[in-house]
Structure 1
Amino acid sequence: MNNKNALLIIDMQQEDSFVLDNVDTVVGHIATLLDTARHQRVPVLHTRHINPADGHDMPPGEPRAADGGPSSYRAGTRQVEIIERLTPQAHEPVIDKGRYSAFHRTDLDTRLKSLGVDTLIVTGVLTDVCVLSTVFDAFALGYHIRLVSDACTTTTQAGHYSALLIMANWIYSLEILTCAQCERALASHDYLSLIPEHPDSFAHQPHELPATIARLQDRLVRTQE
């Protein structure tokens, strides 16, 4: 694929309201990709989810604290800052957003287009919320997407894989790959990835969900051979 990549790191913040599955491994993989991107001068962009401290402009029904402000990702608190291991460098944009998608009411698309980017490497949290929403919007805007399966996570493994399956079924410009294979891709080496072969490639009935997750995981593991 002829492309110009950018690494997007979604919402890797101090916020501790959510217990995330396998988070230490995920942070390690993102740190590896971040080091590689910086070394190879691949553009890096970070996002932060921030809710106004007074609670204005929050979506209907979003959880609030006793004072009416947001119960999480509150502006002006330590929780909205990016974790130290992934601290942005001075030249790396940090895009603040008040909704799940990194493209909603932000200048992310404009920034990427000004850089000539056509392929977005997506990492971060939460797989089934902000990552999912961002990937759908990136697809709608015409980007190729490299979703790094072991560099994103959510509150449960089931939620993580369910989101991966939704994206694998319907994002036609998507390839899913591991951190190790993404490293190879960035180095312009031969690499392997899971590219869905047709719409609803991982269709399943409710009782088949565990087996479908296993099938997806098997495909991803085999990309490392």
Structure 2
Amino acid sequence: MKTTLSFDGQAAALLLIDFQEEQRHDPLYKVPGLSQILKNAARLLETARTLNHMVVHAAYIRDFTKIPPRPFEPTAADGKPTFSDVASSLTAICHEVAPRDGEPVITKNDASAFCEGDLAARLKARGVTWLVVSGVWTEACVAATVRDAITHGLRVLLVKDACGSATSAMHKTAVLNLANRLYGGAVADTERAVSLLTGETAEVFVAERPVPILFNFTDAAQLYADL
């Protein structure tokens, strides 16, 4: 359901997930509409920086010297990772949302930004209550991070038009699936997320019960637009 939300003085942080050149240049892993998604993410980033909200970047960098291939993990013919190889220049974070000095960068060998490093501890140290999430791919690294954030007791604001995946259908169904179980959190677009970051109120979607949205191939796009 739609409801009015305000962060109401609660500490918020912005987490940008896996905005890497691979998503722009690798033909196997391109994210359609990435340019607009990056514009939305950059707007969130500018707002967070201006208002001194904590900003954290996450990057998927697969390094077999740190964590060897897992059981059944696909590898390339030369034994290297199939994507996000530590040796590839395409793991670089896109310039539109590049980190500034002092902004933590979490590098990870798996989907969730909480799987390695000290993200949870950093957020706790800053007293963060709300985690504003933007990134790619929605059904993979974004979804895993959102679920782990909830496990850590964080309220998540999922910014739907500042996330993306390999297809519109993959992205939209992922957002709907997350929205169905986003307990304690909310879904909004960039405009409303900026309002919340600036201390204003905004109308957002919250799940008033488990799985309030039942969707199918014919109505998923409209239900996504209605969030």
Task: Give TM-score, length-normalised by structure 1.
Answer: 0.91
- Structure 1: gaps spanning 5 or more residues: 221-225
How far apart, CA to CA, are the structure 2 residues paired with 1:55 and 1:38?
32
How far apart, CA to CA, are the structure 2 residues paired with 1:102 and 1:170?
19
Aligned to 1:39: 50
Aligned to 1:90: 101
8 Å contact kept, 1:37–1:43: yes
Q: Give the structure, 1 or 2, with the largest relative contact order (CA under 8 Å, sep 6 or more).
A: 2
Residue 16 of structure 2 aligns to a residue in which SS?
A: strand
8 Å contact kept, 1:58–1:98: no
How far apart, CA to CA, are the structure 1 residues paired with 2:144 and 2:184?
15
- Paired letter, 1:215: L
Aligned to 1:156: 167
8 Å contact kept, 2:60–2:84: yes
8 Å contact kept, 2:172–2:220: no
| Alignment counterpart, residue 123 of structure 2, candidates 112, 130, 134 | 112
The CA deviation string for residues 103-159 of structure 1, in whole angstroms up to 9 with x for no partner, is 013211011001111110000100010000000111111100000000000001111
Aligned-pair distance for 1:209?
3.0
- Paired letter, 2:14: L
RMSD (Å), alpha carbons: 1.5
Identity over aligned pairs, percent: 33
Residue 210 of structure 1 aligns to a residue in which SS?
A: coil
How far apart, CA to CA, are the structure 2 residues paired with 1:55 and 1:182?
36
How far apart, CA to CA, are the structure 1 residues paired with 2:80 and 2:113?
22
Q: Is 2:223 aligned against 1:215?
A: yes
- Structure 2: gaps spanning 5 or more residues: 1-6
Aligned-pair distance for 1:215?
2.0
Task: Give TM-score, length-normalised by structure 2.
Answer: 0.90
8 Å contact kept, 1:53–1:76: no
| Alignment counterpart, residue 146 of structure 2, candidates 131, 135, 143 | 135
Aligned-pair distance for 1:41?
0.4
| Alignment counterpart, residue 6 of structure 1, candidates 8, 13, 37 | 13
8 Å contact kept, 1:51–1:58: no
8 Å contact kept, 2:14–2:48: yes
